[in-house]
Structure 1
Amino acid sequence: MSEVLSAQDHRIPGDVTYTLVNPRAFADGSIHEAYKWLRGNEPFGVAEVEGVDPFWVTTRHADILEISRQNDLFLSGVRNPVITTQAADRKVREMMGGSPHLLRTLIHMDAPEHMKYRVLTQAWFLPQNLRAMEDRIRVIARAAVERMAANGGRCDFVRDVALHYPLHVIMSIMGVPEKDEPRMLKLTQEIFGAADPELSRNNDAAKPPEEREFDFSVITDFFAYYRNFSETKRANPSDDLGSLIANSQIDGQPLSDLEAMSYYIIVATAGHDTTSSSTAGAMWALAENPGEFRKLKSDLSLIPRLVDESIRWTTPVKTFMRTAARDTEFAGRDVKKDDWIMLCYASGNRDEAVFEDPFQFRVDRKPNRHLAFGYGAHLCLGQHLAKMEMRILWEELIPRLESVELDGEPAQSEAVFVSGLKRLPIRFKMS
Structure 2
Amino acid sequence: MQDPLVDEAIASHKTYGSLEGQHALFSMLRRDDPVHWTEPSGYRPFWTISKHRDVMEIEKQNDKFINAPRTKLLSIDFESKVKEAMGGRPMLVRAINQMDNPDHAKYKKLTHAWFQPKQVRLLEESIGKLARESIDRMLAHDGACDFYNDVVVRFPLKVIMLILGIPDEHGQHLLDITRAYFGGGDPEMQRGSDLIGATMAYMDFFRGIARERRNHPTNDVATLIATAEVDGSLIGEFEASSYFVALASAGHDTTSATLAGGLLALIQNPDEMRKLRANPDMIPAAVDEMVRWVSPVKHFFRTATETSTLRGKTIRPGDHLMMAYPSANRDDEAFEQPFSFIVDRNPNRHVGFGFGIHACIGMYLAKIEMVIFFRELLARVDEIALTGEPAWIETSFLGGLKRLPISFKASEAAMA
Q: What corresponds to 1:153 in structure 2?
A: 143
Aligned to 1:25: 15
CA–CA separation in structure 2 for the residues paired with 1:352 and 1:320: 21
Within 5 A, what are the aligned runs for 1:7-406? 11-29=1-19, 30-77=21-68, 79-202=69-192, 214-406=194-386
Q: Distance in 2 between matches of 1:397 and 1:370?
A: 25
Distance of 1:98 and 1:353 partners within structure 2: 43
Q: Is the partner of 2:361 in helix, strand or coil?
A: coil
Residue in structure 2 matching 1:426, options 389, 406, 414: 406
Measure the CA separation in 2 of the matches of 1:178 and 1:47: 44
Cα distance in 1, alignment partners of residues 49 and 165 from structure 2: 39
Partner Cα distance (2:120, 2:303) in 1: 34
Is the 1:201–1:215 contact (alpha carbons within 8 Å) kept by the matching residues of 2? no
Equivalent-residue separation in structure 2 for 1:104 and 1:339 (angstroms): 21
Q: What are the ranges of 5 or more consecutive residues in structure 1 without an aligned counterpart?
A: 1-10, 204-213
Q: C-alpha distance in 1, partners of 2:337/2:408?
A: 28
Task: State the partner residue of 2:414.
Answer: none
CA contact (8 A) 2:296 2:398 kept: yes
Measured in 1, the distance between the counterparts of 2:382 and 2:17 equals: 29
State the alpha-carbon separation in 1 of the partners of residues 286 and 196 from structure 2: 37
TM-score where L is the length of structure 2 = 0.96
In the alignment, which of 382, 405, 408 is matched to residue 388 of structure 2? 408
In structure 1, what is the Cα distance between the partners aligned to 2:275 and 2:256?
23
- Which amino acid is the alignment partner of residue 217 of structure 1? G
Conservation of the 8 A alpha-carbon contact between 2:184 and 2:396? no
C-alpha displacement at 1:24, in angstroms? Answer: 1.1
Deviations 1:142-187 (A, max 9, x none): 1111221222111111012211111101111101111111111111
Residue aligning to 1:210? none
TM-score (norm 1): 0.93
Matched residue type, 1:303: I
What letter is aligned with 2:67?
A: S
Shift of 1:328: 2.0
Measured after TM superposition, the shift of residue 215 of structure 1 is 3.7
d(CA) in 2 for partners of 1:50 and 1:142?
48
**Offset at residue 97 of structure 1 (A):** 4.4
CA–CA separation in structure 1 for the residues paired with 2:137 and 2:197: 34
The whole-number CA distance in structure 2 between the counterparts of 1:301 and 1:111 is 39
Q: 1:254 and 1:136, CA in 2 relative to 1: closer, same or farther beyond 3 A?
A: same
Count residues with an aligned counterpart: 410
Distance 2:168 2:241 in 1: 19
Compute the displacement of 1:90 (Å): 2.3
> C-alpha distance in 1, partners of 2:238/2:77?
23
**1:334-363: per-residue Cα shift (whole Å, max 9, x none)?**
111110110000000000111111111111
**Residue deviations 1:264-303, cap 9 Å, x none?**
1000001111000000011111111211111111111111
**Segment drifting more, 34-43 vs 47-56:** 47-56
Structure 2 residue matching 1:342: 3-state secondary structure: strand
C-alpha displacement at 1:54, in angstroms? Answer: 1.0
Residue identity matched to 2:108? R
SS at match of 2:371: helix
Residue of structure 2 in register with 1:206 after alignment: none
Q: Which amino acid aligns with 1:427?
A: S
| AA at the equivalent of 2:22 | I
In the alignment, is the contact (CA less than 8 A) between 2:305 and 2:317 conserved in 1?
yes
327-336 or 169-178, larger mean C-alpha shift? 327-336
Tell me, what secondary structure is at the counterpart of 1:271? Answer: helix
Whole-angstrom distance in 2 between the partners of 1:272 and 1:95: 26
3-state SS in 2 of match to 1:334: strand
Contact kept in structure 2, 1:194 and 1:201, CA below 8 Å:
no
Percent identity, aligned pairs only, is 40
SS of 2:382's equivalent in the other structure is: strand
For each residue in 1:173-220, what CA deviation from the matched residue of structure 2 results, as whole angstroms up to 9, or x when unmatched? 1011111111111111111103111011447xxxxxxxxxx5412122
